[in-house]
Amino acid sequence: MTNASVREFKMPDVGEGLTEAEILKWYVQPGDTVTDGQVVCEVETAKAAVELPIPYDGVVRALHFPEGTTVDVGTSIIAVEVAGGAAPAQEEAPAAPAPAAEPERPAEQPAARQPVLVGYGVATSSTRRRPRKQAQDPAAQQAASAVQSELNGHGAAPAAPPAPAAPVAPAAPASSAAPAQRPLAKPPVRKLAKDLGVDLATVTPTGPDGVITRDDVHAAVAAAQAPRQAAPAAQPAAPAAPAPSAAPASYDSVRETRIPVKGVRKATAAAMVGSAFTAPHVTEFVTVDVTRTMKLVEELKQDKEFAGLRVNPLLLIAKALLVAIRRNPDINASWDEAAQEIVVKHYVNLGIAAATPRGLIVPNIKDAHAKTLPELAASLGELVSTAREGRTSPSAMQGGTVTITNVGVFGVDTGTPILNPGESAILAVGAIKLQPWVHKGKVKPRQVTTLALSFDHRLVDGELGSKVLADVAAVLEQPKRLITWA
């Protein structure tokens, strides 16, 4: 390719200031031809999985990170060789101050292309660092090269012996330079180093402009552990009995498995802790006969208005909750801590908790209060199928007002659900089972379920919470109230 240059595509901020994303899958490999707008990889943030399109035409030269790697926003993840580049790719971002929000835009395509992702194109100021004044000495460069080779999976065995020598060679200059200059690292990397007990001053940086990355911290931990693991391995080698030393490692690996907490699960954990220790939770329960509701579900399945739609008990439970909110609008509110105000919302964005392979997510149906029953059924079906495919967008999980969680699908009778942050109430629906029930003065087998409503006691008192739960139960017991109360 003549007159070609290499463009570095950086990890964009795909949702509300998130600082990192995990590369789930690469759709291209080095040597593949890509075009403007072509999806090259799928990444997962703390909110959702998102596909990333490339913003220019060219040929893939390198993929900088393998699948499963968590990468900071603003870090280059793929190099693409493009034709007709007037300036070197490495100098293009600093030399083009005008398009600050999209530093990777080619000079021949100024503003024609519209961003296809929220927050696409990280500002250069968020990722550009001032270069270090002093150059690294040859010993430090050799150590950095060995660490990078080990991270890339090349020459792992030969790299192990020189690993302990890395901290010895630069020991004198490191100690003298430590007070003068603070190591460059982003806040998530500093927290990782603190959690692992790693002194950043002893870590060899491999990031752009001498920035310490997550991999550098993990490499420092591995290098520190290498001498300890090598010493016991060398001692049993003399009596020619390597088998006993290998057995404990295998035994321990079977007894415990460590799973990194990241992505959706990490965000969910943080949100639940924040909610549990911020909003004072109160949970109330009611057991109700839903036999008539179950009969209505079977009738609606035969109705031509619901042809091709998903009709199940959750549909009528959702409608019952919407009716209860209409009768008790103060339940649909949020607490504004900064202003010390209760914000009553005159719309309902109905959240539905969904268990996915990546963790629990709560997408919501926008303006659910204004939908007819067939429209609500269509929205529920689309929400569930999108969540199962892992395609729920970050916007679909924002702005919820109340939530339903259906624990009954797992055979669970009831529970005490935790509020979704920023919401005032969450309704848990238990399993619907045939149980002995007093009906018209006689004990008969009836379809029975238990509902649990958790609410924020700062803005919902016991009377209001009880009325809402009682209204939901009343509608499910006598579905004709969907008409008389609407």
Beta-carbon contacts of residue 120 (< 8 Å; ≥ 6 apart): 12, 14, 102
3.30.1280.10, 3.30.559.10, 3.20.20.70, 3.40.980.10: CATH of 264-484? 3.30.559.10
**445-483 in b/e burial notation, b at 16+ Cβ within 10 A?**
ebbbbbbbbbbbeebbeeebbbebbbbbbbbbeebeebe
Supply the pLDDT for residue 288: 97
Domain ranges of the chain: 4-127, 138-240, 264-484
Residue 439 a catalytic site member = no
Please say whether the dihedral angle defined by the alpha carbons of residues 182, 183, 184 and 187, taken in this order, is positive or negative. Answer: negative
Tell which CATH architecture fits domain 4-127. Answer: Beta Barrel (2.40)
| Tens-digit pLDDT profile for residues 429-463 | 999 999 999 999 999 999 999 999 999 999 999 99
Per the residue annotation, which of 64, 218, 281, 457 is the catalytic one? Answer: 457
Q: Which two tokens stand for residue 432?
A: 């619907």
Supply the pLDDT for residue 193: 78
Supply the pLDDT for residue 142: 53
Q: Which residues of the chain have a pLDDT value below 70?
A: 1-4, 14-18, 46-47, 84-181, 187, 191, 225-254, 263-265, 267-268, 277
Residue 232 has φ and ψ, to the nearest 5°, of: -65, -30
| Contact indicator for 198, 167 with CB cutoff of 8 Å | no
Give the end-to-end CA distance of the chain in Å, rounded to a whole number: 68
